[in-house]
Amino acid sequence: MLNVCSPSAEEKQEISSALAKIPRQPQFSTDFEVARGRSTMEASPEFLQAATGGQVTGEAETASWVRIRHELPAPAMFSTVQYSFSTDSKNMVETLVFRVRDPKDVMQVSIEDSASAVTTPAAMLAASTPSSRIKLERFGKSSVVLARCYGSDGNPPPDQSAYQTVFQTATDVMSSYRGLLGARRTVPDELTRVQGASPAKPKAGSKPIAKKPPAPGG
């Protein structure tokens, strides 16, 4: 996964070709899954490490997440599409993954974007957040990745103007599937349920229940 800021012309074409094969009006099968949860991350997850513009701390972080998965019937090229939304105190990240039914070269295509948690999940879902990372996992080969890169240490960001069409296509795909999968409605509702499942905190001024000392000789 070298040169994620400026993949070769051949790799750029491979990414463009894969994005073009994603159906814009898919016919989902009746099988689907919606899941939610909370995870404690001892280290920053890969999608946050890749987002160099994100805020990442070395402390353990708790993230709430929602996952939506739908299956596509044969003979569609892709067997499943899975959307996930993760939010913690610093960042919100969307990931859309298409798995190929009969992988001969590309195994799956993933698109990611992120935003600061200063806004709400509903606001992020209502906007057309620009894609920040596109990844092709290939069968028997290294992955091909294109990521938005930012300047650091006073250096300007690299010129990625040649890849803006690719980023825009990925952004359009993500925006389309938010609607197709019902993410704009489902994600805020499910995140509310995750928050409602938080362990109850002791009330202010309450004292812990004192344990009885063991009986003599016990």
Element (H, E) at 178: helix 164-180
What pLDDT, on a 0 to 100 scale, did the predictor assign at position 45?
Answer: 47
Amino acid present at 74:
A
What pLDDT, on a 0 to 100 scale, did the predictor assign at position 104?
Answer: 87
Count of residues for the chain? 218
- Hey, what are 145's tokens? 């990745």
- Cβ neighbors of 11 (< 8 A, separation 6 or more) are 144, 146
Nearest to 139 by CA among 108, 109, 98, 107: 107
Nearest-angstrom CA–CA distance, 208 and 157? 54
What pLDDT, on a 0 to 100 scale, did the predictor assign at position 175?
Answer: 96
Whole-model pTM: value is 0.80
Nearest-angstrom CA–CA distance, 111 and 103? 18
- Enter the DSSP assignment of 162: G
Neighbours of 28 (CB within 10 A): 15
Nearest to 197 by CA among 84, 64, 60: 64
State whether residue 169 is helix, strand or coil: helix
What pLDDT, on a 0 to 100 scale, did the predictor assign at position 152?
Answer: 82
| 112, 125, 188 from 182: Cα distances, Å | 17, 11, 11
What pLDDT, on a 0 to 100 scale, did the predictor assign at position 51?
Answer: 44
Q: What is the pLDDT along the chain (218 residues), one digit of tens a residue?
A: 457 999 999 999 999 999 999 999 999 999 999 999 999 876 544 444 444 444 545 556 889 999 999 999 999 999 999 999 999 999 999 999 999 999 988 999 999 999 998 889 999 999 989 999 999 999 989 999 999 998 887 888 899 999 999 999 999 999 999 999 999 999 999 999 998 876 555 455 545 545 454 555 54
Is the bond preceding 45 in cis, omega lying within 30 degrees of 0? Answer: no
- Hey, what are 26's tokens? 């898919």
Nearest-angstrom CA–CA distance, 14 and 32? 29
What pLDDT, on a 0 to 100 scale, did the predictor assign at position 142?
Answer: 93
